[in-house]
Structure 1
């Protein structure tokens, strides 16, 4: 697999985005800490770009902010444009599991659909503990290469290349690559606004 160069300053992009979203919602650090389960001091470090948060921490923040994880990687004031060019698509590597995610969808475009590509290392595991989210969030995982296991609540699904799993994100979810080779999959997220 070829080496993928990540955008310099991704932690700064996340910092600005979290700060911007928290400000738009009128949340104090304390309020976001209560809503997300992430400590006030960790949020402060993230907002200053002084931390490389894991996917699990970012998912908690996204849930507390009422947005998808993919939203945290968008430019804060992204000009809506219907085309997302490959060189402009944001990539981020989870410091805990090593998985690489790339936002494929055009940033800032007014659409309830987000597409993310993931390269998941051999034996990697990520467990998102958050369950209920504002509104209803549908997600489909389409495996392009390799094998992954997805545990949604008490259900376990083994997915191989070509398989697609549809789900509602209303329970804790774990992704695991049980093999000795990387897997690559596409995640399509559709969020409906809270009622």
Structure 2
């Protein structure tokens, strides 16, 4: 699936999630702290959302980013082949997010992320409000900023996130950092 298709599918899914809740564009904008105009552009597939923006929108819906992306794709069944795994690239940072777990009733999701060198992806606390997460670094170095605390991680390290806080994923190195996020929904 190409980037334009992903943007169109994400936009349509965001609009559907908003309409299913009976929310106007203005109400979603207020709940997510995102401009009404930006949401409108995303819903029409005219703009690709950043990771931070997806975090704000998914948090407003009470969904994980992975769930929002997976709902934009149509994957079913217990086996999700690598060729069928939804992949989304943040247009701002080049951050690549691959949803590796099949869409199911399990409250657990697995997401593989590659963060390019020198890039930072901030996430609002609303994206973590109803989740428990583990971050396991597969390759490279990652600094995970959790509120005011910095966790410096290398390949093989695993971190359990604490209470919801504004966070940032930081790759201060000169090589890609690849990590796995295990997301447990507590809703």
Change (3 A) 1:83 1:8: farther
Which residue of structure 2 lines up, in the alignment, with residue 126 of structure 1? 121
* Pairing 1:71-82 to 2, within 5 Å after superposition: 71-76=67-72, 78=74, 80-82=76-78
Gaps in structure 1 of 5+ consecutive residues: none
The structure-2 alpha-carbon separation of the partners of 1:40 and 1:169, relative to structure 1 and needing over 3 Å to count, comes to farther
**Which whole-Å deviations, capped at 9, do the CAs of 1:82-104 have from their partners, x for residues lacking one?**
11111110111111111111011
Judging by fraction of residues, say which structure has more helix.
Answer: 2
2:165 maps to which of 140, 161, 171: 171
RMSD of aligned Cα (Å): 1.8
Residues in 2 aligned to 1:79 and 1:6: alpha-carbon distance in whole angstroms: 16
Match of 1:90 in 2: 86
Q: Is the 8 A contact 2:73 2:86 kept in 1?
A: no
The secondary structure found in structure 2 opposite 1:74 is helix
| Aligned twin of 2:25 | 29
Distance in 2, matches of 1:59 and 1:38, equals 11
In structure 2, runs of 5+ residues without a counterpart are none
Maintained 8 Å contact 1:36/1:63: yes
User: Does residue 110 of structure 1 match 2:73?
Assistant: no
TM-score by length of 1: 0.89
Q: Which structure 2 residues correspond to residues 40-55 of structure 1 after superposition, within 5 A?
A: 40-55=36-51
Structure 1 residue 164: Cα displacement: 0.3
Does residue 138 of structure 1 match 2:132?
yes
